[in-house]
Structure 1
Amino acid sequence: MTRFIPPLLLVALLAVTTIVGWGGSAGGDPNTIKIVSSLPRTGSAKAQTDTIVGGMKMALDEAGYKAGKFNIEFLDWDDATAGAGQWTAEAETANANRAVGDPDVMVYLGTYNSGAAKISMPILNKAGLLMISPVNTWPGLTKPGMGDPGEPDIYRPSGEITYVRLVPTDDLQGPLGAQWAKELGFKSVYVLDDNEVYGKGIATLFIDACHELGIEVLGHESIDVKAQEFKPLMATIKSLKPDLVYFGGTTQSKGGQIAKDMVAAGLDAKLMVPDACYEEAFIESAGAENVNDRVYVTFGGLPPEQWTGAGARFRDEYIKQHGKKPEGYAIYGYEAAKAALEAIRTAGVKDRRAILEAARGIRDFDQGALGTWSFDENGDSTLTTISGLTIRNGQFEFVKLLGQ
């Protein structure tokens, strides 16, 4: 989920980093460890990241801000700016460098956007600092042969894997979305994306699966996310008479506006969007009247109303504390913090390498809210559940499991 970062800019950003070496005892209070999060806390993603941070804090509260013998200090950092209204490469770079330069920081929880991860992963990797993402979904961050040329090795300049993540990736979600479209009887689709890492990536994976399934792809276009509306584009798409429009992108990159403009143009096709639009802000930006019974949503995981066991207990406690239902990603924030605490407890020392190795070694973890899972050799979790939802009466409604 991010805009494209040119290779030369990426190199320039990395060149200004200050790196603290791997391992070794940290400074400051020997009994205190800092966990930081880096998420877009300014702009239209704030409602979603509020719930992710809320989940993190619930895990820390339950642990009494302790992990083994260590006191835990949590710092909530913003990688967005008011001017941009979303994450920026400059803010994410600053956060990563700040974390690396603080010897008390042992875990970096983030990012929200896959494009932001591309910026901070190499910086943190050089310092041997554990990075746990609750929600990055671009396959190329971890999976060889599943992303752009050179991925994921370009994010591992040390040769070590320092990044792990929890959410199922787009190489599952994109094709399963296409399979669902086939099951729903759609024979043709027009595909849009926001020209960002996440959006363009999942759109391409969706298109590839459509070709295999015999769904006709009438066109594929990247939108200008700075545009205020897309009515001329919708008129063009309407003339092609697709059964479905697929948008690879986020609420912040105009997912709601596309839904609104489809209706304004009299485009009868349904709309399918991925997990980055699975948030109340999407319905609010589009207007419920423009999405009711018109939109299909794919999501890596289960919606809150489908959570059971520890997941249901997390949901109910979240509602008790916050007075409202959590967004779908909140549980991943909780789980990421749980994994961080487990790694610190298992390591038993205030040492970045030891804590990293403990996290990489997590197997059959069942102390969170997502059931039992492990990190694999690439740093991906073994969680693979994908859900399909629709929108009725201004609310997301679970339809079916697409894969598990």
Structure 2
Amino acid sequence: MRKRGLLRFLVLLIAVLGLAAVGCGGSDDDGGGDGGSAGGGGGAAEPLPSASCGPVSYEGDGEAEYLIASDFPLQGANRSLTTEMADAVNFVLKQRDYKVGDLNIGFQSCDDSTAQAGSWDSAKCTSNARAYAANEKMLGLVGTFNSGCAKLVIPILNRATNGPVAMVSPSNTNPGLTEAGPGADPGAPDIYYPNTTRNYARVVWNDQHQGAANALYAKELGLKKVYVLNDSETYGLGIANLFVRYAEKQDIQILGNQKWDKKASSYESIASRIKASGADGVFLGGIVCNNGGKLIKDLRAGLGPDVTILGPDGWTPISATIEGAGPAANTMYISQPGVPEDQLTGAGADFVTSFKEESGKDAVDPYTAYAAQATEVLLEAIERAGSADRAKISEELFNTDVKDGILGDFQIDENGDTTLGTVTFFQVKNGEPVFVKTITPELAFVES
């Protein structure tokens, strides 16, 4: 009997302490709901693993009950750009006081690269995605930066428990992530969505449009014979093949489409082959992280100053190309989807001004504005969902209709693509990127 009385006392004591804990930890209107409720999240969100992700950024009231994250390669040649992009994600959330509707949301910046690779790493992309999917307080992802990484992350988030998990990329341009056709892998895009429900969108035009714009500009420059090089990765091979497709429609002769080995110590033999072909231009389908600086140096040394070198947005930040190639980068043309930061208007101009003040920077990379816009798209989807229901948030991505956004007016279509379509061209002059022009390819040409 004494043991039974003691047991009753302990049960009563635990109940009283439990009520006290609720009174201290919950808000006045918090019904103690579960992870899918529109109210409090039932305590602080468990942070994503520190092996890949920085600490939780949160300066709102109470505690961060939910999370969003960015997933970019924070090591290697792209570091200055991707770090700035992650800062922009946090900046947008901070402007909302880390609150969307009734949800207190913190932010973590996650790294999908390794020091050894100096770029995105397939194992890191996969392990990061698994962590996002497993953490049910993780409401959405801004990323990835690279299309090859996205191919690994999307399906994992697509089949997440209580998902899929919403994902908005500021920079993935491989067409196959959202639609079939030129530039897409066999079976794409369905192979990336195993539960058949879409959870991925992007605020950047895909490479069908960038490839078309580069072909149009090559024609405008008077190029007649172009040699194409690619780094064999998802993005690089895809944009190279698309450039070939559209260049041939412009009656530009393609003299070759060859892989460059990112581990090579010299590209002199490639330069000799291109020179012997009689090419008046070279298109580089790939990313600067893949020994791009050395490639440009050897090409310029072997080809001389009269052969035009063009590259897509894989050669951004342009500062990384200039740093890697030195004076050999001069006269190179580099394209990037979107418009330069000094041509943004309305909310875009306001973002640039306020972000510069916050960061102390004199200039903002175009992709930084895209990271900020991708964040807004994700947060607006969370707000429209009215809860922390991950599946509902993913669904709401496709109801995006932005007016006077950072990038202007646009929608997200049923595939997850933006209706924006401008491509900007820069030329390196005296070690600095100089704006040249913007091109918006006609849809009839892109789809032909």
Fold-level match, TM-score > 0.5?
Answer: yes
Aligned to 1:117: 150
In structure 1, distance between residues paired with 2:181 and 2:277: 34
Deviates more, 1:124-133 or 1:23-32: 23-32
- Structure 2 vs 1, CA of residues 89 and 266 (structure 1 numbering), >3 Å: closer, same or farther? closer
Look up the equivalent residue of 1:285 and give its one-letter code: G
Residue matched to 2:307: 269
Aligned-residue RMSD, C-alpha: 1.7
Give distance in 1, aligned partners of 2:123 and 2:257.
30
Report the secondary structure of 1:317's partner residue.
Answer: helix
Change (3 A) 1:356 1:367: farther
Q: Please, which runs of 5 or more residues in structure 1 have no aligned partner?
A: 1-22
**Deviation of residue 249 (structure 1)?**
0.7
2:322 corresponds to: 283
Letter in 1 for 2:436: V
Q: Distance in 1 between matches of 2:81 and 2:354?
A: 18
Whether the 8 Å CA contact 1:176–1:403 is kept in 2: the answer is: yes
Whether the 8 Å CA contact 1:318–1:324 is kept in 2: the answer is no
Distance in structure 1 (CA, Å) of the matches to 2:430 and 2:81: 21
Match of 1:243 among 270, 274, 280: 280
**Which residue number in structure 2 is paired with residue 338 of structure 1?**
376
- How much has 1:360 moved relative to structure 2? 1.9
- Quickly say closer, same or farther: Cα 1:278–1:83, change in 2 above 3 A: closer
Cα deviation code 1:208-249 (max 9, x no counterpart): 112111111111101111113311211221122211010001
Structure-1 residue corresponding to 2:215? 178
What displacement does 1:306 show? 2.2
- Deviation string 1:157-186 (CA, Å, 9 cap, x unpaired) is 001001111101100000110111011111
Q: What amino acid is aligned across from residue 343 of structure 1 in structure 2?
A: A
Residue matched to 1:357 = 395
Task: Describe how 1:141-160 pairs up with structure 2 within 5 A.
Answer: 141-146=177-182, 147-160=184-197
Aligned equivalents of 2:356, 2:393: Cα separation in 1:
32
CA distance in 2, matches of 1:167, 1:299: 10
* Kept in 1: contact 2:36–2:387 (CA 8 A): no
1:331 to partner: Cα distance: 0.5
Give, in whole Å, the separation in 2 of the partners of 1:149 and 1:210.
Answer: 23
Greater relative contact order, per chain length (Cα 8 Å cut-off, separation 6+): 1
1:227-272 alpha-carbon deviations (Å, 9 max, x no partner): 1331121122112221101000111123322221122224331100
| Displacement after TM superposition at 1:392 (Å) | 1.5
- Give the number of equivalent residue pairs: 379
Give the AA of the match of 2:136: P
Which residue is 1:57 aligned to?
Answer: 90
8 Å contact from structure 2 (residues 321, 329) kept in 1: no
Distance 1:47 1:357 in 2: 33
Q: Percent identity at matched positions?
A: 39
1:95 matched residue in structure 2: 128
Name the structure 1 match of 2:4. none
Letter in 1 for 2:67: K
Contact 1:334 1:368 in 2 (8 A): no
Aligned position for 1:19: none
Amino acid at match of 1:228: S
1:224 to 252, 255, 261: 261
Letter in 1 for 2:292: G
Partner of 1:48: 81
